[in-house]
Amino acid sequence: MSASDGLVSSGEEPSAPALSADHLSKRFGGRVAFDDVTFEVGRGEVFGFLGPNGAGKTTTVRALGTLIQPTSGTATVAGIPLMPENGVEIRRRISVMPESPGLYLRHSVIENLECFAELYEIPDPAERVDRALRAMNLTDRGADACGTLSKGLRQRVALARALLNDPEVLFLDEPTSGLDPVAVREVHELIDGLRRQGVTIFLTTHRLEEAERLCDRVAILNTTLRTIGRPDELRDRLFTKTLSVRTAEPLPEPDRVFGGLAGVDGWRQDGPAGYLLAVSDTNLAAPAAVRALVAAGADVLSIAESRHSLEDVYLKLIDDDEAVRR
Amino acid sequence: MTRLSRRRVQAIFAKDLREFRRNRSLTAGMGIIPVLFSVQPLITVLTVSSAASTTLRHEHVLLYMLGIPALVPSLVAAYSIVGERQQGTLEPVLTTPIRRQELLLGKALAALVPSIVVAYLVFALFLACVGLFAAPSVASALIRVPDLIAQLVFTPLLAGWSIWTAMLISTWASDVRVAQQLAMVASLPSVAVIVLVALNVIPASLVTAAVAAAALLLLNRLGLRLVSATFDRERLITGTR
């Protein structure tokens, strides 16, 4: 037992992950919310959790946030084993920002934050609330009733509330859902700021460009965990790298130009004067292809690496799942 | 039993009091019930002649006022859990280190304090009106020390019981209005007993009072445990049964 009251300790080490799940599952009766989920999130990492509606993202956050009990599997949150008896201690060290801000609309911004500062038993609540307001650029809105704020401002208040206890792990469930582009940019900047401060962030999102921009690693969940890794790793794992070549005129004998080039595994036509080269190493293949084209007397208009987005990765995995189900 | 945090209980208490004060439907409900329970007896008392005051000696008109602590808190307490669920504010609160007993105790106190204040205030106003405007023989027939003590003792006991019943309903209901209506219905047996005692159908003796007080004390002690046992975070958050 640790010094903390009633805490069942994992013998936490400084190098231990901030968050880990091992074959974690949750069923509601016969319905599977998520199944056999295993991952680790390092300290200070921004970890994206992607998946379609009903994939189990929010339920996973609720399970890790001690709101619901997993059916099977184990997990550690902020270094503490996920067990009912550790719920209070885990919740002391984390913050969860649900998809809906859940503010008391008849209360002012300051009243909302003060209530939560008391619930976290923060030693100097007034100073901490003031700091959170300044961090979220809300100082001049502190006295306003939350019901009078725009959706973007409410999201900022919810984020300020989530920072009151200086969490070791911050769970953000769809933090930009329903926000306009300006508000989205503001939330992204705030998350960037938290990353610089070393806060571990577990971010569930539908916005793939958001995950690509903000996250060090992402996991794609569709009831089971489909894949996990850095966005560029996932691209490389799922798609072959390609070089897109455009010439002024169609090549008379493209096979002779591209066949046997270093780093080029194959090629195919892409339009009348366009070619897609499957490559194993772009740095090797691109100069070789340029030299071969020039030697063949071709006028090269462009040569570029075709990049697959995280969206391509996501859609491929989800489409594969759909195909299997059909 | 784990030690509860007074700070967290106070935070919920203060937050709920503020919420009740700013919620017009709740404040209106808290105002209407005392009016209903005080106007009719007041009119009866003020219009009764001195000659008829002897009939008042056989009844306990003041005890009608116990209907206020039986009904007012049920309206507020029935709102407390399901109201937060409907507003989406329950989940953020449950993600803090708060224990369910702390949450429930804070909410119960926030329903209890204004209900007791309203009940005592209305009772004091009623007594003042009787003392000032009723015939002296009517006033002396009406205002009896045992009834005054019963009012003081049973107001918090009835309010407490009403609160735990309403909170039990609130943890299960999925709509505020349904919870409030069910809580009102659940308070009716208490009101029926009060009326029967006031009309002297159930004789008002020291033994009856002692038994009733002991039973209510016991029920209030069990109330927190019972509501706490049925307060299921998972069901409240996910809506699964």
pLDDT score of A3 more than 50: no
**Nearest residue in A to B21, CA atom:** A106
Of the listed ranges A116-120, A203-207, B104-108, B140-144, the least confidently predicted one is B140-144
DSSP reduced 3-state for B81 = helix
Q: Where in chain A is the domain with CATH 3.30.70.1560?
A: 240-307
What's the mean pLDDT when you consider all of chain A? 88
Of the listed ranges A67-71, A309-313, B171-175, the least confidently predicted one is A309-313
pLDDT for the residue numbered A309: 73
pLDDT for the residue numbered A92: 96
- pLDDT average, residue stretch B28-55: 81
pLDDT score of B241 more than 60: no
pLDDT for the residue numbered A2: 39
pLDDT score of A216 more than 90: yes
Burial (CB < 10 A; 0-12, 13-18, 19+), residue B55, is exposed
Query: Which residues, including other chains, have CB under 8 Å from residue A121's CB and lie 6 or more apart?
Result: B5, B7, B8, B97
pLDDT score of A160 more than 90: yes
pLDDT score of A7 more than 60: no
Query: A204 near A49, Cβ under 8 Å?
Result: yes
- Kindly state whether B24 is in contact with chain A, defined as any CB-CB distance less than 8 angstroms: no
**Nearest residue in A to B23, CA atom:** A106
The per-residue b/e assignment along B95-111, b for 16 or more CB within 10 angstroms, e otherwise, is: bbbbbbbbbbbbbbbbb
pLDDT score of A94 more than 50: yes
- Kindly state whether B238 is in contact with chain A, defined as any CB-CB distance less than 8 angstroms: yes
Domain A240-307 in CATH 3.30.70.1560? The answer is: yes
B238 with A68: Cβ contact below 8 A: yes
Q: What is the ipTM of this complex?
A: 0.89
A20-to-A75, A95, A120, B207 alpha-carbon distances in Å: 5, 16, 24, 62
Best of A59, A115, A119, A124 to disrupt the B interface by mutation (most B CBs within 10 Å)?
A119
Task: Report the residue from A102, A115, A121 with minimal CB separation from B5.
Answer: A121
Of the listed ranges A52-56, B40-44, B81-85, the least confidently predicted one is B40-44
User: Per-residue DSSP letters for A139-156?
Assistant: GGGTTSBGGGS-HHHHHH
pLDDT for the residue numbered A240: 73
- Distance between the two ends of chain A, CA-based, in angstroms? 50
pLDDT score of B127 more than 70: yes
pLDDT for the residue numbered A142: 94
Residue with the bigger pLDDT between A134 and A235: it is A134
| CA–CA distance, A177 with A175 (Å, rounded to integer) | 6
pLDDT score of A239 more than 90: no
Sole residue written with tokens 């399970």: A63
The answer as to whether B1 is a domain residue is: no
Query: A278 near A222, Cβ under 8 Å?
Result: no
> SS3 letters for A104-127?
CCCCEHHHHHHHHHHHCCCCCHHH
Quickly list H helices, B6-144: 6-22, 24-47, 53-57, 67-87, 90-94, 100-133, 136-142
User: A19-234, what's its fold?
Assistant: Rossmann fold (3.40.50)
- Nearest partner of A46 among A239, A190, A225, A160, judged by Cα: A190
- Kindly state whether B234 is in contact with chain A, defined as any CB-CB distance less than 8 angstroms: yes
Q: How many C-beta atoms lie closer than 10 Å to residue A206's C-beta?
A: 15
B240 with A67: Cβ contact below 8 A: no
- pLDDT average, residue stretch B45-71: 79
The answer as to whether B147 is a domain residue is: yes
Tally of domains within chain B: 1
pLDDT score of A183 more than 90: no
Residue with the bigger pLDDT between B69 and A8: it is B69
pLDDT score of A88 more than 80: yes
What's the mean pLDDT when you consider all of chain B? 90
Q: How confident is the model at residue A4 (pLDDT cuts 50, 70, 90)?
A: very low
| CA–CA distance, B172 with B30 (Å, rounded to integer) | 23
pLDDT score of A187 more than 80: yes
User: Count of A–B CB contacts within 8 Å?
Assistant: 87
Q: How many C-beta atoms lie closer than 10 Å to residue B90's C-beta?
A: 19
- Kindly give the interhelix angle for A109-119 and A125-135, rounded to the nearest 10 degrees: 130
pLDDT for the residue numbered A206: 78
| CA–CA distance, B204 with B60 (Å, rounded to integer) | 8
Structural domain containing residue B231: 6-238
pLDDT score of A6 more than 70: no
pLDDT for the residue numbered B189: 92
Query: Which residues, including other chains, have CB under 8 Å from residue A29's CB and lie 6 or more apart?
Result: B240
**Nearest residue in A to B92, CA atom:** A102
| CA–CA distance, B194 with B68 (Å, rounded to integer) | 11
pLDDT score of A229 more than 70: yes
- pLDDT average, residue stretch A95-113: 95
Read off the DSSP letter of residue B3. P
Of the listed ranges A79-83, A206-210, B34-38, the least confidently predicted one is A206-210
| A15-19, A112-116, B71-75, B207-211: which is most confident | A112-116
pLDDT for the residue numbered B142: 81
Q: How confident is the model at residue A5 (pLDDT cuts 50, 70, 90)?
A: very low
pLDDT score of A248 more than 90: yes
pLDDT for the residue numbered A146: 96
- pLDDT average, residue stretch B145-150: 89
